[in-house]
Amino acid sequence: MAIAMKLWQSNEAMKLWPKDMARKQRPESYGKKNNQPKSLAIESPMNTKTILITGAASGIGLALAKACQAEGHQVIVTARKPADITTLSELGFTAWLLDVTNPEQLAQVAVNVEQQFGGLDLLVNNAGYGAMGPALDATPDQWQQQFATNVFAVAQVSQALLPLLRKRQGVIANVGSVSAKFVTPFAGLYCASKAALHALNDAMRMELAPLGVKVVLIQPGAIATGFANAASAGLSHWLATGSPWQQFAAGIAARARASADNPTPVAEFAKQVTQQLLQSKPPLLIVAGNGSRSLVWLKWLLPTRLLDWVLQRRFGLR
């Protein structure tokens, strides 16, 4: 604390603080809707929001979509598989095909939102997956795909839809993970991608504020979704032939199933999140789900060597 106070009192620190925070120094567009040509977009009732959620075929994305729909909002959902689009449409959603790493599909989604709704109040960047296995067994392609989906696509989707969010002075919500702060063995790729997403979220929050767009981080813990099953199904791809970690295959499988240990029901999680997210001034961080707070505190409280020992024991490394 003493060091922090000395830094604050120093001339260099004071130079970082704006001398004049008056509104007249902000861009003219700050806090105002852009004047845009009128389109044939659907007119929303006064309190109805237009919401787009990526990766909504199942799990957290679908639960959030249902929770928002129950509140009377116009909900657009995206998924990668045509069969899922059919199912989602039957549930009453506006459903569009989108692989978040496909630039052509993303461009079409942006056009669709503009033409049908005229703007966007809330974007939930939910699409993602978890690669499990030893970090040094992963191939360059596996690293690339994990980051392309969990990190790069968040920036690309947000970039494509930013003009529509600015029209409504909207909100971007990025679905992170407690795994960004509580790293475990055999989830290095996933934890690294979510840590990068948390950092990206911080940068976006500061950079988009002057443009009138809010940025919120959602930090789930263990949630009852298909995440564990999907992670377990990919184990054969993550453990390399001749890997020195072959003897720890049971521990790798245990890590893949860890999110299914005493999870929060996904509908309960979605209700907690939407109650906060749909506020006129949502919090910057929404923490929900089993372990979403306690694991962060455990990381902070325990000495690193002791925590390493505990996690190595938990996942068969000792």
Q: Return the pLDDT at 2.
A: 45
Query: Domain segments of the chain: what residues?
Result: 44-314
Q: How many residues does the chain have?
A: 318
Residue 49 is encoded by which pair of tokens? Answer: 């929001």
Distance, CA of 54 to CA of 128 (rounded, Å)? 9
Q: Which residues of the chain have a pLDDT value below 70? A: 1-46, 227-238
Q: Return the pLDDT at 231.
A: 56
Burial class (CB in 10 A: 0-12, 13-18, 19+), 2: exposed
| Tens of pLDDT, residues 62-115 | 999 999 999 999 999 999 999 999 999 999 999 999 999 999 999 999 999 999
Residue 66's contacts (CB-CB under 8 Å, 6 or more residues apart) are 91, 267, 270
| Tens of pLDDT, residues 192-211 | 999 999 999 999 999 999 99
Residue 213's contacts (CB-CB under 8 Å, 6 or more residues apart) are 162, 165, 166, 169, 170, 171, 172
Burial class (CB in 10 A: 0-12, 13-18, 19+), 169: middle
Q: Return the pLDDT at 232.
A: 56
Q: Is 30 part of the annotated catalytic residue set? A: no
Q: Return the pLDDT at 31.
A: 42
Q: Return the pLDDT at 242.
A: 86
Distance, CA of 163 to CA of 310 (rounded, Å)? 47
CATH superfamily of 44-314: NAD(P)-binding Rossmann-like Domain (3.40.50.720)
Q: Return the pLDDT at 32.
A: 43
Q: Which of the residues 96, 117, 182, 190 is marked catalytic?
A: 190
